Structure 1
Amino acid sequence: MAETNLQDIGEDRSLLLVDDDEAFLRRLSKAMEKRGFEVEMAGSVAAGKAIATARPPAYAVVDLRLDDGNGLDVVEVLRERRGDCRVVVLTGYGAIATAVAAVKIGATDYLSKPADATDITNALLRSGDELPPPPENPMSADRVRWEHIQRVYELCDRNVSETARRLNMHRRTLQRILAKRSPR
């Protein structure tokens, strides 16, 4: 599905984007508007829940981790207010447990960042029976490892010793990994 046309989207083209990264939110909003969606943006869980309650959209893209809480709280409100809303959960911290939680709560799909507007549009418009196509440029094994280490590091409040203990890794080895740039 290279180009989206308005028939693919349907009559109700309302789309809620919830992400605390303002630059990403603006870029994604413009890209989704070009694809025919009527976009409304929220930069926090509170704003996302308010919009979901007042004007439940037909589609939503929600970041999992937001400054003021968990994006799954917005997904729950969307499911209560509009059961047919197609929701894609985005996160920079891809993990099986959070993917399962997102789908159980009612997310249509779950994508790891960086996801582009085409990936998101395809996920929003995919029918339930279709299997997603394999990614065109998947993360390398080194990048997946680095992302996992970063996620655990953040969960340990950036405490190197605690992160090293949880990863069963020597503290100095972890410090060297954290000092390097992220792999591609």
Structure 2
Amino acid sequence: MNVTLRPVTAGDLEGFDTGFAGPGGPGPYQWFGHTPTQRLHRLHQERGLLGGDENMMSVIADDTLAGRVEWFRRAWGRVETSACWEIAIGLFAAHRGQGIGTEAQRQLVDYLFTHTRAERIQVCTDADNIAEQRAVQKAGFELEGRIRRAQWRGGAWHDQLLYSTVRTP
């Protein structure tokens, strides 16, 4: 399967609005309840969802919109000296379990190390999300540890696992 990343289009946003609506859309580890999407549309109009502290690209698999990857600025101290990127992925149900997520996250890491000065890229995933754990490990991330009761979702607190990869010289 040919997987590529590209800037989000207005049509992609409509696909995300539809494809990720309701608990079945994003899957059990990404459903946080209904949320407004106007902000995402506004950021797309303002800057194409690129070039800020919150960014997004579309995941294309064999010329079909399969989902999206996102990256957010995080810091382990002062932002000026300790910033890194945290990445996330959302794939439509029909595109899960085919290696698309692994390849998309691998491409996003390459993109960020090529086009930003980041030294570190990290991923947090639910401790029960075995598929994402495998995907990020295959994409070159290493487990750093467990963040206990860090995410409120579905009426309960959930542990998260922190993975990272660092720039190689």
Shorter-normalised TM-score: what interval?
0.3 to 0.5
Q: Relative contact order, CA 8 A, sep 6+: which one is greater?
A: 2
Q: TM-score, normalised by structure 2?
A: 0.32
User: Which structure features the higher share of strand residues?
Assistant: 2
- Higher share of residues assigned helix: 1
**Which of structures 1 and 2 has the bigger CA Rg?**
1
TM-score between both structures, scaled by the size of structure 1: 0.30
